[in-house]
Amino acid sequence: MPRPSTEERIEYLLDRTEIFDLVRYERLCRDIKDWDGLVGSYVPGSHVRTTWFDGTIEEFAAASKAKMSSGSAGKHWIFPAKLHMKDGRATCESPAYIFDRLTFEGVEFDFMAHVRFHSRALLTDDGWRLNSFEGIYARDSLLPVNPADTLPIDWDIVNAMRPSYRFIGFCQVYRDYEVSQELLGDDRPDLLETFYAAEQKWVETGE
């Protein structure tokens, strides 16, 4: 295969930079409560799914605002890495961390999840915008802030969760959120195979 021209390589790098910057910007807007910036990162009506939410970006922003006003302060570090792009469509997958400091039953603890975030992106008249957001879960953990404390864990809830998100699932259920057992995760390669095939088809054909 012939090497792309300098112009083609520059165009690709500019698009990649814009998409990678957008992916980082979107998570930062959520974490610092910039709701206009969060919604503006997406095509209107884009689908968002997390452990605690499944709906549109507009609904996600409203739900996040309510959740964070009640004391939840979860944060995200995200590292865009894999890009597939064609004809104004793209998918971007990014290794990431989700972390929070919570207090249950008077015990303060740190939560950490190792995940990948996957988004579709569309080239619009205003530049690239995200068209979806999906978490892919790998593993997670809880640690007490004071090592002398015992974690307030309901093991019945934890053991009912999938291995890839058992502790974040516990934290969400404890706070009265419903958690699907069909989220994407490394412990369910069957779900990932179907998901990636659909994402590949969308980039290639738009369908």
DSSP string covering 87-112, please? TTEEEEEEEEEEEEEEEETTEEEEEE
Residue 150 φ/ψ, nearest 5 degrees: -100, 130
Closest CA to 170 of 204, 142, 130: 142
pLDDT 10s digits, 70-100: 777 889 999 999 999 999 999 999 999 999 9
User: Could you tell me which CATH number the domain at 6-200 has?
Assistant: 3.10.450.50
Per residue in 3-21, pLDDT (tens digit) is 889 999 999 999 999 999 9
> In the chain, what are the domain boundaries?
6-200
* pTM for this model (two decimals): 0.93
